[in-house]
Amino acid sequence: RPAAAAPAPGALLEVDNLTVTAPNGKVLVDGVSFSIQRGQVVGLVGESGSGKSMTAMTVAGLLPEGVTAAAHTLRLDKLDLLARNDPKVLAGSIGLVYQDPGTTFNPALRMGPQLTEVQRVHLGRKRRSADREMVTALAGMSIRNPELRMAQHPHELSGGMLQRSMIASSTIAGPKLLIADEPTTALDVTVQAEVLRKFRKVNRERGTALLFISHDIGVVQELCDEVLVMNGGRILERLTGRQLKEGQASHPYTQALLAATPSMTGERRELVGARWSPTDTDQDGVEQ
Is the CB of residue 233 less than 8 Å from the CB of residue 50?
yes
Structure confidence at residue 187 as a pLDDT band (50, 70, 90): confident
Structure confidence at residue 282 as a pLDDT band (50, 70, 90): very low
Mind listing the pLDDT tens digit for each residue in 248-268?
889 999 998 888 776 433 444
DSSP string, 92-153: HHEEEE-S-HHHHS-TTS-HHHHHTHIIIIIS---HHHHHHHHHHHHHHTT-SSHHHHHHS-
Q: Round to whole Å and give the CA distance between 125 and 4.
A: 43
More confident residue, 5 or 106: 106
Residues with Cβ within 8 Å of 232's Cβ and at least 6 positions away in sequence, in order, are 30, 50, 51, 277, 278
Is the CB of residue 13 less than 8 Å from the CB of residue 209?
yes
Nearest CA to 162 out of 101, 107, 115 is that of 101
Mean pLDDT to the nearest integer, 79-85 = 86
- Give, as one character, the DSSP assignment of residue 253: H
- How far, in Å, are 46, 133, 142, 220 from residue 74 at the CA level? 22, 32, 35, 24
Tell me the domain boundaries of the chain. 13-100+175-285
Lowest mean pLDDT among 4-13, 46-55, 112-121: 4-13
Q: What is the pLDDT of residue 9?
A: 61
- The upper half-sphere exposure of residue 37, i.e. CA atoms within 13 Å in the direction of its Cβ, equals 7
More confident residue, 185 or 282: 185
Lowest mean pLDDT among 156-160, 258-262, 274-278: 274-278
Structure confidence at residue 4 as a pLDDT band (50, 70, 90): low
Asked whether the whole model's pTM tops 0.75, one would answer yes
Position 199 pLDDT exceeds 50 = yes
Position 230 pLDDT exceeds 50 = yes
Position 206 pLDDT exceeds 90 = no
More confident residue, 92 or 235: 235
Mean pLDDT to the nearest integer, 198-207 = 87
Mind listing the pLDDT tens digit for each residue in 19-64?
999 999 999 999 999 999 999 999 999 988 899 999 999 999 888 9
Q: At what angle do helices 127-140 and 159-171 cross, to 10 degrees?
A: 120
CATH class of 13-100+175-285: alpha beta
